[in-house]
Structures are given as structure tokens and as C-alpha cells.
Amino acid sequence: MNDYKYNIDSLLLSYYIKYDKMDELCAQSMMFNGYIKQVNVYIDLFNMLEPLYTRDITANKKYTIVSSIINLAAHIRQYFWKRQYCATRIYLVYGEDTSLNHRQFYQSFGDTKYRETIDFPRKHQIVTSQLEMVKILAAYIPEVYFVKRSTNFAMFVYNDLAVNDKNNAIAPVIITKSKYAYQLPSIFPKVKIFRPKKSKDGDSSYVITSRTVLKHFFKNINAQTTLERFNVMHPALLSLMMTLTGLPSYNFNTLMNATMASKLVMDAISNNRIINGYNSDIDFVYNSLIGIDKYIDPTTFKYRFNAVDLSTQYRIYNSSSESRDITWLINLNDPETVREINDKYFYDNPLDLNSL
């Protein structure tokens, strides 16, 4: 029996990318090869906190979750201000993914393993109560917003990008490990994903851009022919590839491997049956993929696409009241109140208020 307990601090610190590594990611993605005045940073709190459910955890301090989240915002703000001379707007997004938007097409769709853990009710109560304190604190921190949604993280980000994407002075950066969110740079070329990755060897976090998203999504592929296809394929084909290859982390089963999927798609592109880009008419796509009928019928294929395709899901989300909710948009100005909260509740684990 494994009695090892993970310290909450160490689990949540895995989302902190070191400054020197962030320098590399900014350089690799050429983020600042233009006149950028502001970076909008979207942090996936659901993904960040999920390991707390699936591991036996311990904490030496009472409000470790709160301080880890608020200090992550400080860590990021300080980096872009000191290293890149750039202002930030930071969104702390907790997308519970409890809506039926995906599951009306594919019943089991979603990252739900955390809910099946033995100690889920107790841990979830701890997480949600500390997120309430994050919400209170964020309201008093300029340009830091706590957003809670019944849909997933990627949906809120898509919704916000749809409004702000045309502003060339704003650079959007997403911090997540969620492979479903990889669709965002495939749709919005300006988007960069800073994908945190820590190990005993150090910080090996990496950046995902529209140019590299297919290779990162299928990072275990070594077949040269398949990699060459990814070089040719437009990143907007990612959702079609997901439809074919599945997304196990979201309980979305595999139809075929990436080599076969890329072969079917490239054959259709090369013979001008579909465009090398986003194809919205999924019935037409099905009829254009020669041999797909050996794997799946047209109706089930369409349901799979509708479940996983972020643009389709956005159209559904855009008609909901949640998409128009801006109650999270709070900018209170009371530094004294924040310092009082810090002194009362975080005396043993202080918030980095000077960087905020």
C-alpha cells in the first residue's frame, strides 16, 4: 500500500513556469515581434487543481490553495512587467464542465475522473470554499478576474477571444495542460499556450502555437510520413483529427490512430474533396473521407464532431445566458482591505501583494 502524501504546495507549484523558461517561450513564439502593450493571460484553474483530487494530499498551511493561485497571478504579472515591460490582464478561470453542451452529442464526454475519487466530497468542499476566497481577493486586485463557469475553460477563453482578438496590441497567453484547449491556437493564430511541465530534471515547459499545435497534440508520433502530413495540414483541421483519433483524457474514445487519420484527411485535401482548413459541413466531410464508413456511420461521426469541435460548441454556448454574464468583471480599489485579509489569514503563507 502506498502511504505517500503529496504536499499541496508542490502540486500547485507545477503550474509556476520559471522566468528563464518563460523568456525562452516568448522568444520561440515571437510574441513580442510587434507593438504589444498588454498580455491577456488565461489560467486554467480546473486543470491546475485537478491533481488534488486524484492524490493523497497534505498541507501545512490553511489557505494554501488561495495563496498558490493569487501568487501565481503575481508571478506572471511580475514577469511580464519586469522582463517584457508589458501590462497584464489575468483571468483565473474555473470551468467545471458540468453543462450538457458536449454530452448531448457524446454522453460520456468530459474530464470527470476526479469526481470518481473516494474522498471527492470532502476535497471538493475544500477546493470550492477556497475558490470563494480567491473570488473575494481577485475583486480587489486590479485587472485580475476570477471567473467560474459550468462549461469548460476553453469555452470562456474562446468567448473572450471572440471579442478581443482583433486588438493587435493585446497578446493572448493561455496556461493549461488540457489537450482540449489546444484547439484555441488552431482557431486564433495569435494565441500561445504556455504548457507547464515540471520533473525531477527541472522546468521543461513548452510553448504551443498555431504552427506547432498538431505536432504537440500528436507528440508521440515518430513516423516520418505522418509528421510530414502535419507540416502540410492546416491547424484548423485539429478538431477533425480529434473526431477521428479521440481524446482519452475527456472519455472520448479512439476511432483510428493518427497515421490512418492523417492519411484519410490528406487524401481528401490532395484530391480537392475538402479544403485544407476548417470544414464546417461535417456531412460533406464524411462523404469526402474515402474508407471512413469502415469505422463509423455518418450520424455518429457528426455527433462526435459536434461534441469535440470547439467552434460548434461556441455557437451553442453563445446562445446561453452564461456567455453574456459579466458579473466577474469587478475592479474594487481598497488596498487596505486586502492587506488586512493578508495579515489575518495568510500570516504563515503571505500573498505577494507587491507584485500585484
Give per-residue pLDDT as tens, 216-271.
999 988 889 999 999 999 999 999 999 999 999 999 999 999 999 999 999 999 99
Mean pLDDT in residue range 27-47? 91
φ, ψ (nearest 5 deg) of residue 149: -135, 150
Q: What does each C-alpha distance from 152 to 97, 98, 99, 312, 316 come to in angstroms?
A: 4, 8, 8, 14, 13
**pLDDT higher than 60, residue 18:** yes
**pLDDT higher than 60, residue 1:** no
State pLDDT tens for residues 131-175.
999 999 999 999 999 999 999 999 999 999 988 777 888 999 999
For domain 1-210+333-345, give its CATH number from 2.60.40, 3.30.310, 3.40.50, 1.10.3470.
Answer: 3.40.50
Percent of the chain with pLDDT over 90: 74
What is the chain's mean pLDDT, rounded? 92
- Number of neighbouring beta carbons within 10 Å of residue 213: 22
Residue 2 is predicted with a pLDDT of 47
Measured in whole angstroms, the distance separating CA 164 from the mean position of its chain's CA atoms is 18
DSSP 308-323: H-HHHHHHHHTTSSGG
Residue 129 is predicted with a pLDDT of 93
Q: Report d(CA 99, CA 336) in Å as an integer.
A: 38
**pLDDT higher than 70, residue 4:** no
Residue 235 is predicted with a pLDDT of 97
Q: Report d(CA 214, CA 217) in Å as an integer.
A: 5
Q: Report d(CA 106, CA 87) in Å as an integer.
A: 41
Give the residue extent of every domain in the chain.
Answer: 1-210+333-345, 213-308
- Residue among 165, 166, 187 nearest 312 (CA): 187
State pLDDT tens for residues 185-222.
999 999 999 999 998 889 999 999 999 999 999 998 88
- Residue among 345, 308, 282 nearest 61 (CA): 345
**pLDDT higher than 70, residue 121:** yes
Buried b / exposed e along 111-148 (16+ C-beta atoms within 10 A): beebeeeeeeeebbebbeebbebbbbbbbbbebbbbbb
- Residue among 4, 335, 308, 44 nearest 195 (CA): 44
- Residue among 280, 36, 58 nearest 169 (CA): 36
Element (H, E) at 158: helix 153-164
Burial class (CB in 10 A: 0-12, 13-18, 19+), 336: exposed
Residue 248 is predicted with a pLDDT of 92
